Chain A
Amino acid sequence: MKTQEEIYLKVSSTLVEALNVDEDEIEPSSTLQGDLGAESIDFLDIVFRLEREFNIKIPRGELFPESIFQGDPEFVENGKITDKGLNELETKMPFADLSTFKKSREVSSIGDLFTVEMITKYIQGKLAAK
């Protein structure tokens, strides 16, 4: 069983390769889009690399459910996530830290949930369930 530290280091090195960034740019709280400059094709690349690196399967939309709320009025109202949407998010992303997001609820800041720490926690859960 890998420790959280070991997983974090492997996730970091995966991101170094996928995003062409320096290792010292990466911190647990770094957001993939805002801090590390990831674009949509990069998310795909990250998923493929993580699958290979940790020998796991990552179903589409499980790690980065970026479009779960797209145009669904039940989940989004005036650009903000509803209570129902928040529940959905908690169910779908138990590995994400929603504390900051809960304050603003802005759909546009959903990308800030995707941090290095979030990936690490997700992988940890995947490996534990293996």
Chain B
Amino acid sequence: MRLKDQVAIVTGGSRGIGKGIVQAFAQEGAKVALVFKGSQAAADALVAEATAAGGTVKAYQCDVTKGEDAQAVVDAVEKDWGPINILVNNAGIIRDGLFVRMEPADWNAVIDTNLNGTFNFCRAVAFAMARQRKGRIINVSSIAADHTNPGQTNYAASKGAINAFTRALATELASRGVTVNAIAPGFIATDMSEAVRNKAGDIITKMIPMKRLGQPDDIAKVAVFLASADAAYITGQVIKVDGGLSLGAVAV
């Protein structure tokens, strides 16, 4: 077990990529705080499933856009299990639409959840991690930050900002033994990407050099690595996990 007794927080942990990370962390022996906003049933089911498999997982309800709520979750987890070792900022939403018709509400919602939510949880753990001279922060970004499609100005902006934020925070915390990295997934088979996949059809898998969608577990395995002692010397990096999609190859 590579994360034995490590205390981890995973936001957006009840579904999709977050769920995969919660499961993988639990299998590696971490105590996992699953943070969810609305999916109580999915969160409860995941806790039950992971617990039955011998893991230690607990669900915490929280709207990541609210700084005080994020702090309250961090305080509660510390009270339950002790100092936080690992934070995964995974909570993210899409509100796709062409820019000329994009409502401010759709812009703000995406920036608030994806970017400000990441800020809120980092702020709640960073100083404590710096003081304990140990910590791992992993932000879930997207290849959409660099390789984008029409209709995603808000999403691409939020993820590009997460990449820059990751690098900047990494420089501040490096001397204190805290690493900050990001994972940029390509097309992953989750509820969130379903609408896009339905619309685009199998053209997507044709664009991916590996000819398949990613699975949440493909991302979770990289998250486990970045959270583990093996990744001690890696910080400020954005790691693309996309089956080669971002290489921009044209099939011939």
Contact = CB atoms under 8 A, between A and B. Distances in A.
A106 interface: no
A4 interface: no
B130 A41 contact: yes
A41 B133 contact: no
Question: Interface residue tally of chain B, by bracket?
Answer: under 10
Contacts of A45: 127, 130-131
Contacts of A39: 175
A40 B133 CA distance: 15
A45 B147 CA distance: 40
B176 interface: yes
A25 to B, nearest CB: 17
Nearest to B131: A45
Contacts of B131: 45
Contact of A20 (B127, B133, B173): B133
Contacts of A44: 127
Interface residues of A, number: 7
Contacts of A20: 133
Interface string A24-49: 00000000000000011110110000
A42 B130 CA distance: 9
A112 to B, nearest CB: 20
A60 B178 CA distance: 25
Nearest to B172: A41
Nearest to A37: B175
Contacts of B172: 40-41
A42 B133 CA distance: 11
Nearest to B130: A41
Nearest to A44: B127
A48 to B, nearest CB: 8
Contacts of B176: 41
A42 B176 CA distance: 9
A44 B131 CA distance: 11
A45 B172 CA distance: 13
Contacts of A42: 175
13 contacts: A20-B133, A39-B175, A40-B172, A41-B130, A41-B172, A41-B173, A41-B175, A41-B176, A42-B175, A44-B127, A45-B127, A45-B130, A45-B131
Given A41-B173, A41-B175, 4 more contacts: A20-B133, A41-B172, A44-B127, A45-B130
